[in-house]
Structure 1
């Protein structure tokens, strides 16, 4: 089997230093984390940025600064921005970020864009016009069905077929299990896919995805703990451990 691409998601929109002292918040901390995770085996970074108060941000200027610093420090690492609303931003804000920043790669939640369906075609058209690779975020089979409808209707453009399947985001205690993968995988439209999973069974879920041919996203956005419940030292430890596990199952 082809070895999966490993992406690290080192912080997310909601966690901070109170959750883990090694969680990166500033651009400098994110760049330092990216370098450590690249050395540990991650080939890509899922980028969240924060404002001066440490809150989730979609500011194109701050994103541009972060992307420039990452390109300088880790030029061999692919970087994907998030358009996550996190309960703060609306679809026009997400569209504005995509239009002004023109990122090379962005994750887009279909259920978030569906809050303003009249803007959906503009969101995906803007990405197509600017050469932004889209990775659709799918939380459940209903999200997958919506994406398939938008593809059939031409709202989602040809070639915009990459997905990330998210396990456990809305589960009790945000704890995913490997059994959660099958129904979402069966429902998703054809195309390259990746998996991330909330909770201490994160790595077990990722190994299940690797066996099924998926790429993998790992990191503190989704899980801070080892399988035994103890805190990971940092994101790089989680990446390195996943790389070792993949070697043992010969993926």
Structure 2
């Protein structure tokens, strides 16, 4: 068990249009929700942006620019963590005729996926450490080849932006370990154990601990689960040596039938942690722990 943790709030997520109005969509809504989450105790805010017409996740530097500017101009100073997960979705034509791929395919080059990172220089951005089948389409696959990951990791190292290595499957952790061994990740390495996501690692305790036992030496890591297990994981994560993530990207509910806001999820997590004797870090304490570089 660790005695102090930082909380990351995942504000809106990518993917399709959100299913509830509490999930922020416009840059103003996303920034305001992030500011409220920071005031409630989140040390970091993890950000996607959404198309204003379709409301689906999109890689649009102008939208990211507005969201980040609004947060940086506010009276709170959370660690900003931007996604690089857009532009890696392949949808095959069909199981009998996979090529050409479906028009739903959204594949970009390694550096194209980093254009908003290159411009805005957040302290952290995500790096999904491998490929994974998804439930959104039975012919859809999240594609992250070893070559792409090495290219992205190298560019992030040049920019001085710390990658948060996202682990959805056991093989992803092996890839993350290789990137670290190859010197492409500056220490201390930061990992996110993503539990209970479709066709990934299940959210049970034994699976979590199996991942923990394969982590590289000196790693600083968080663990979260989606859906109803999100808040129980706020209590379970520090028992496994992990930091905490909550937010509407992963779960819409504060309790059964009670829809949440991001600030309410952060507040509930801080209450849980306080009751079990775990102190919540400030943004500056998180920066110091991870040796983050501020560019703003």
Same fold (TM over 0.5): yes
TM range (shorter): 0.7 to 0.9
From the superposition, tell whether residues 101 and 236 of structure 1 become closer, same or farther in structure 2 (CA, over 3 Å).
Answer: closer
Which position in structure 1 is the counterpart of 2:126?
Answer: 107
Aligned length: 247
Aligned in 2, Cα 1:163/1:76: closer, same or farther, shift over 3 Å? Answer: same
Moved more, 215-224 or 104-113: 104-113
Cα shift at 1:171: 5.1
Pairwise CA RMSD? 2.4
The equivalences for 1:22-33 within 5 A come to 22-33=22-33
Counterpart position of 1:163? 191
Structure 2 CA distance for aligned equivalents of residues 29 and 102 of structure 1: 22
- Residue 170 of structure 1 deviates from its aligned partner by 2.0
Deviations 1:109-161 (A, max 9, x none): 0115973433333211211111111110011221111111232233x233261
Equivalent in the alignment of 2:231: 203
Task: Tell me if the contact between 2:50 and 2:57 (Cα under 8 Å) persists in the aligned partners.
Answer: yes
- Deviation sequence 1:168-187 (CA, Å, 0-9, x none): 01259x97344431112122
Q: Give the match's secondary structure for 1:7.
A: strand
1:10 alignment counterpart: 11
Name whichever structure is richer in helix by fraction.
Answer: 1
Deviations 1:37-65 (A, max 9, x none): 12221121001111232221222232122
- Once the two structures are superposed, the pairs formed by residues 124-139 of structure 1 within 5 Å of their partners are 124-139=153-168
Consecutive unaligned residues in structure 1, runs of 5 or more: none
User: TM-score normalised to the size of structure 2?
Assistant: 0.75
CA contact (8 A) 1:162 1:193 kept: yes
TM-score (norm 1): 0.88
Equivalent position SS for 2:191: strand
